[in-house]
Amino acid sequence: MNSFEKIYKVVSKIPQGKVATYKQIAKLAGINLPTGGARVVGIAMHANKDIIKVPCHRVVGSNGKLTGYARGGIKEKRRILEKEGISFDLKGNIDLKKYLFHSN
DNA sequence: GCTTTGACACTAA
DNA sequence: CTTAGTGCCAAAG
């Protein structure tokens, strides 16, 4: 199984109204890296064409900061997250303390 | 097969 | 808190 497949599976496991960080996903995907793994996740997201199977919009930075979105951009991503029921900070960040998803 | 780039993370100023 | 620099791994050209 490619890193992409593992990452996709982990991301697809994220429930609605929850978000996960690139680093977290990388770790869950089995990529136990200090920080580099997060990059692989970003690549996988960008390379991901099945946005329906992989809700990349639920993936945020380590600080709950939105990085990018290969569909409608950060703007669209933020809207989707709000629609999911996630609140944003004045800086446009997400409260990881409340919405951070942790695998069982 | 090597070089460049990238949806990150962390530390320092 | 913001900006800049460095380190990491993998995919694309």
3-state SS record for A38-99: HHHHHHHHHHCCCCCCCCHHHEECCCCCCCCCCCCHHHHHHHHHHHHCCCECCCCCECHHHH
Beta bridge partners of A100: A19
Mean pLDDT over the full length of chain A: 88
Query: Is A56 considered catalytic here?
Result: yes
Nucleotides of strand C under 7 angstroms from a protein beta carbon: 1-2, 7-12
Pick the residue with more confidence: A92 or A77? A77
pLDDT > 80? residue A18: yes
Instruction: Specify the pLDDT at position A60.
Output: 94
List bases in chain B with any atom under 7 Å of a protein Cβ: 6-10
Q: And the tokens for A70? A: 């290969």
Predicted TM-score of the model (pTM): 0.89
| Burial classification of residue A89, based on how many CB atoms lie within 10 Å of its CB (0-12 exposed, 13-18 middle, 19 or more buried) | exposed
Does residue A103 approach strand B to less than 7 Å at its CB?
A: no
Question: Is the CB atom of residue A71 positioned under 7 angstroms from any atom of strand B?
Answer: yes
The pLDDT of A45-52, averaged and rounded, is 85
Q: What is the mean pLDDT of residues A9-37?
A: 87
